[in-house]
Amino acid sequence: MTSEDLNVSRETFAKLDAFVKLVQKWTAKINLISRQSEAELWERHILDSAQLFALAPPFETWVDLGSGGGFPGIVVSILAQEKSRDQRFVLVESDLRKGTFLRTAIRELGLNAKVISGRIEEIEPLNADVLSARALAELDVLLEFAERHLKSGGTALFPKGSLWETEHQKARMRWSYECDPIRSKTNPDAAILKIKDISRV
């Protein structure tokens, strides 16, 4: 993987590379990512996360739910530095060890981000312009989280695997929302669901 592949500056690529090394170091201790996906870290996690940043509308506050190993929260924070230093990122992670990892990454990489350690359904509403969640829950549950933490007029970006259409149909039974499914660049069967105007049926 090169800076040209990601269409970023060499400085940004160097930060992403530093983050990759942090993930590898900490995974040995706290299992941030699966062993089998370590070999594909750039493609499966970095590039997969980076495509969300390209789809985001203009924003001030981006909230990433269940940030885990920092995908996409840390990755989009790094990419934002190249464009604007005013955008803020909030990473929500209830696992204290992963929260410690995220805070370490934020400090070492000098990112404009903070970590909230708590349960998504219990913390104060975060009023996000953009809300993301990767590999966290079914769409039906994610929409509940979005109802709580996404500001009016905000956009949710939810990467989903090959069963995204099934989840979408199930969610329609409880929720009304505008959904633009965008084919994933890293998996032709997957999609990023760009969602707005969420309300209960």
Question: Angle 73-83/48-55 helices, nearest 10 degrees?
Answer: 50
182 is in an annotated binding site: no
**Nearest one of 59, 31, 36 to 132, comparing CA atoms:** 59
**Which conformational region is residue 45 in: left (phi greater than 0), alpha (psi within -120 to 50 degrees), or beta?**
alpha
Furthest C-alpha separation in the chain: 47
Q: 67-76: string of b/e by CB count within 10 Å (b at 16+)?
A: bbbbbbbbbb
154 is in an annotated binding site: no
178 is in an annotated binding site: no
120 is in an annotated binding site: yes
13 is in an annotated binding site: no
The continuous run of DSSP H or E covering 90 comes out as strand 88-92
| Residues placed in the known binding site for S-adenosyl-L-methionine | 66, 71, 120-121, 134
| Residues placed in the known binding site | 66, 71, 120-121, 134
